Amino acid sequence: MKNGKIFLLLACALAFGCAGPRVKGPADGAVYYFGPVKYFSADGLTPYGATESLVRREISAGGALIVETVTQPGRFPSLPTQTFVTRLARRGHGLVYSAADEERTFSGSLTFAGRDLAAWTYDITLAAGGTITGSGRLNNIGISTEKIMSGARPVRIVEDLRTISRAAYEVKLAGLLPAKEAK
């Protein structure tokens, strides 16, 4: 079910100093998010399902590097959680960041609209074929995105993640992990 893994990875993992742009939020450190991710037909009329995402967004190098770790519940209660790691690295001193995941299932870029990196568009190519296009927005409440994943079965992905504290993140993470995975 490689396409399913790619689907979930891309649905949640993408979200987003020096002489370049300033990141909204801390220049270096971590910010945490939690919320629903909903999947629809490309026209948005037919719901395909939903999950929840728990995100740790680590910012370093004055905002030049952003690493997002996304944890989602297993597809079924007996299955382990799924964790995806995406790296966003600023190209030069501009508003374009290279985007790729550790599993090498996608690569491409996010282009931000301004120096605060509070709004962006996706230009992602999937290794298995297809693309992801769309947009995202960051504010004091959290991150919201809407993307279209093209390919054999086009999918609209809508995320509404709210900012949470580190303590809330750790509690939610422990609740997502089956006993043998919990640390």
Q: At residue 123, does pLDDT exceed 70?
A: yes
For the chain, percent helix, then strand, then coil, each to nearest 5? 15, 50, 35
Give the H or E element holding residue 69: strand 65-72
Contact at 8 Å (CB) between 101 and 86?
Answer: yes
Q: How many angstroms separate the CA atoms of 142 and 105, rounded?
A: 26
Q: Using DSSP bridges, classify how beta strands 119-126 and 96-101 pair: parallel, antiparallel or unpaired.
A: unpaired
Helix (H, G, I), strand (E, B) or coil at 106: strand
Average pLDDT over residues 54-71: 92
Confidence band (pLDDT; 50, 70, 90) for 176? confident
- What pTM was computed for the model? 0.82
Residue 178 has what pLDDT?
A: 60
Residue 25 has what pLDDT?
A: 52
Q: At residue 173, does pLDDT exceed 60?
A: yes
100-117: buried (b, 16+ CB within 10 Å) or exposed (e) per residue?
bbeeebbebbbebeeeeb
Q: How many angstroms separate the CA atoms of 106 and 126, rounded?
A: 4
Residue 135 has what pLDDT?
A: 98
Domains of the chain, first to last: 2-176 (2.40.128.20)
- For the stretch 40-56, pLDDT in tens is 999 999 999 999 999 99
Q: At residue 1, does pLDDT exceed 70?
A: no
